Amino acid sequence: MTFLILPALDVWRGRLAVATAEGPRSIEAFGGDPGAAARAAVGAGARALHLVDLDLAYGGPRGLDVAAIRAVAPDATLQVSGAIGDAAIGRAYLDAGADRYVLGSSALADDRRTLLVLRDAGPAVVVGLEVEDGRIRARSAGREKEADGLDLMSTVGWLHAAGAAAFLVTSIDRVGGLGGPDVALVRRVARAGRPTYAAGGIRSLEDLRALRNAGAAGAVVGTAALEGRIDLAEAFAWTEA
């Protein structure tokens, strides 16, 4: 299976932004235009995009215009995230044109709600695992993390048995930085036998190689791509080699 690189586009009030402890902050890359960023990523060879609805993530209503991204990336797989907590919200993104969505870690504390999502969306849902110190701790932007969290591997085991199609593993302490991914963490989750995607700290093609060697099916690349530290065209060519 080809390693899938998903350039991340965080969108707030219709513009490109980044999440910070103080709230969303607009950025000037691509003139702040999510459509231009999506068009450039697809032009470089992207087959999938990771779209983050920061309006929802910071406690507001859905704000991401999926249809606008679909218009400039008609053939790309669109994966949406943003602290999505239930089947109804996830279904709204699918109906708007997304191919799949990430169930936020905050939903995992409620077994019934998680099962409803898995039954409703099936392969169209990726379960988000935000991890710190071996435990799943919801890192919804602008909201406090769970104090105790859930044990990572026992939760992964339960989700596997419940039919989870794929996982997105995010190292909380590496989000937004360029310190490198937590390869060991990704390897642990990938051993569960489901497609596992990595996020957090990815800064180079070498990091992507390390994640693929650890069993990851792909990776979400954010800051490094926007800042030009990773040449996306080179990275996509590597995945096809």
Task: Return the domain boundaries, the chain.
Answer: 4-240
By CB neighbour count within 10 A (0-12 exposed, 13-18 middle, 19+ buried), where does 87 fall? buried
pLDDT means per 10 residues, the chain with 241 residues, are 93 93 88 95 96 95 96 98 95 97 94 94 96 84 58 95 96 80 96 96 95 98 86 93 75
Position 58 scores a pLDDT of 92
Given this model, what pLDDT does residue 80 score? 98
Class for domain 4-240, per CATH? alpha beta
pTM to 2 decimal places:
0.94
Question: What percent helix, strand, coil does the chain show, rounded to 5?
Answer: 40, 25, 35
Can you give the pLDDT at residue 206? Answer: 96
pLDDT value at residue 142: 45
d(CA 93, CA 19): 21
Contacts of 50 (CB under 8 A, 6+ apart): 6, 7, 8, 9, 79, 81, 199, 220, 222
Place of tokens 């249809």: 67
Q: How far apart are CA 135 and CA 216, in angstroms?
A: 19
Question: CA 20 to CA 12: how far, in whole Å?
Answer: 12
Cβ contact 214:233 at 8 Å: no
